[in-house]
């Protein structure tokens, strides 16, 4: 039996309803003084769990689809796995080198050129500059942004951003790949290139967790599905079981 690549235990993320993070010291003091002057406690805006008590294991080489309606907690879960968001409870352990492609421009610096961001993104992923230099031509050719490589990426279109970001992630040797709705970028020809690259990663034994609303794409890549609703993991089983529940809930 293959080893464990991802181990998630009772993972959760809680947010305040007012959308603010922890207060600075002077803000907390100011609020306390105002509360005393009003002689009543300030109203608590409350909180909610974007992800709650989520546990599962992904073995090395598995390709797993993460499904659910908008707001189900899928993206928050991936951000916790990729260390972008700190959990409120529980833990997630990932074994091996991880690459995450979560949202537009993630890991890019807008003032740097496309070329500079290739190396900047590689450094974030733990890849040495010498290794990225050997992959640069392939990355540029795949992304189709060669004419704009030395332009600051703040001038890129959203499609150019994502093509370059996907190309970097696809050409870095990784053990675990986390992807959130990235196969919907670009025209049909580029989408097919991305899908072919994903097929290759799966064949080579890369552990993949992918969020997508394209059920037909997931059926090509994955055999297992995780289905989330209102922050809770409701199904962990065969892909058909998860996709059937997804279709049923989105049709309601």
pLDDT tens by residue, 157-198: 888 888 898 899 888 889 999 988 766 666 778 888 888 888
Indicate if the pLDDT at residue 65 is higher than 60.
Answer: yes
In a domain, 200, yes or no: yes
Indicate if the pLDDT at residue 236 is higher than 70.
Answer: yes
119 and 91 in a common domain: no
65 and 185 in a common domain: yes
Q: Which of 117-131, 199-213, 233-247 has the highest mean pLDDT?
A: 233-247
Of 120, 146, 173, the one marking the end of a domain is 173
Q: Which of 5-9, 125-129, 186-190 has the highest mean pLDDT?
A: 5-9
Q: Whats the size of the chain, residue-wise?
A: 252
Average pLDDT, rounded, for the chain? 87
Query: What pLDDT sits at residue 22?
Result: 46
136 and 82 in a common domain: no
DSSP 68: -
In a domain, 103, yes or no: no
Place of tokens 């002057």: 37
77 and 23 in a common domain: yes
Indicate if the pLDDT at residue 203 is higher than 50.
Answer: yes
180 and 86 in a common domain: yes
Of 125, 151, 173, the one marking the end of a domain is 173
In a domain, 24, yes or no: yes
Average pLDDT over residues 109-127: 91
Spatial distance between the Cα atoms of 198 and 183, rounded to a whole number of angstroms = 9
- The total of structural domains in the chain comes to 2
115 and 74 in a common domain: no
Q: How many CA atoms lie within 13 A of 175 on its CB side?
A: 14
Query: What pLDDT sits at residue 31?
Result: 60
DSSP 147: G
In a domain, 72, yes or no: yes
In a domain, 157, yes or no: yes
DSSP 70: T
pLDDT tens by residue, 13-44: 999 876 555 445 555 566 665 665 565 555 55
In a domain, 51, yes or no: yes
129 and 117 in a common domain: yes
236 and 125 in a common domain: no
CATH of the domain at 52: 3.40.50.300
Query: What pLDDT sits at residue 187?
Result: 72
55 and 13 in a common domain: yes
Spatial distance between the Cα atoms of 165 and 159, rounded to a whole number of angstroms = 10
114 and 25 in a common domain: no
Average pLDDT over residues 87-95: 96
Residue range of the domain that includes 12: 4-96+175-251
Reported as type and span, the H/E element at residue 137 is helix 129-143
212 and 181 in a common domain: yes
Of 173, 197, 219, the one marking the end of a domain is 173
118 and 165 in a common domain: yes
Percent of the chain surpassing pLDDT 70: 85
pLDDT tens by residue, 132-151: 999 999 999 999 999 999 99
In a domain, 101, yes or no: no
| 166-to-24, 53, 85, 177, 184 alpha-carbon distances in Å | 37, 31, 21, 11, 11
Q: How many CA atoms lie within 13 A of 233 on its CB side?
A: 19
Using 50, 70 and 90 to split pLDDT, how confident is the model at 78?
A: very high
In a domain, 102, yes or no: no
Query: What pLDDT sits at residue 194?
Result: 84
Place of tokens 């009003």: 38
3-class SS at 169?
helix
């Amino acid at each position: 039996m293959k080893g464990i690549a991802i181990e998630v235990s009772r993972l959760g993320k809680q947010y305040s309803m007012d959308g603010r993070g922890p207060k600075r010291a002077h803000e907390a003091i100011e609020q306390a003084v105002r509360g005393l002057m009003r002689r009543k406690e300030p109203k608590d805006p409350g909180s909610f769990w974007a992800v709650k008590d989520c546990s599962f294991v992904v073995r090395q080489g598995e390709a797993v689809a993460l499904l659910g309606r908008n707001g189900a907690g899928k993206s928050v879960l991936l951000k916790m796995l990729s260390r972008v968001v700190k959990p409120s409870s529980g833990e997630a352990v990932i074994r091996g080198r991880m690459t995450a492609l979560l949202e537009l421009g993630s890991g890019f610096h807008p003032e740097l050129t496309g070329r500079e961001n290739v190396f900047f993104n590689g450094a974030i992923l733990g890849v040495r500059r010498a290794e990225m230099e050997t992959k640069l031509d392939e990355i540029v050719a795949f992304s189709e942004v060669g004419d704009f490589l030395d332009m600051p990426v703040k001038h890129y279109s959203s499609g150019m951003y994502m093509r370059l970001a996907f190309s970097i992630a696809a050409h870095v040797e990784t053990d675990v790949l986390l992807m959130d709705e990235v196969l919907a970028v670009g025209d049909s020809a580029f989408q097919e290139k991305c899908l072919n690259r994903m097929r290759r990663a799966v064949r080579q034994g890369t552990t993949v967790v992918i969020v997508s609303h394209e059920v037909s794409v997931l059926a090509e890549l994955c055999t297992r599905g995780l289905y989330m609703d209102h922050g809770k993991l409701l199904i962990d089983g065969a892909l058909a079981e998860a996709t059937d529940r997804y279709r049923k809930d989105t049709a309601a």
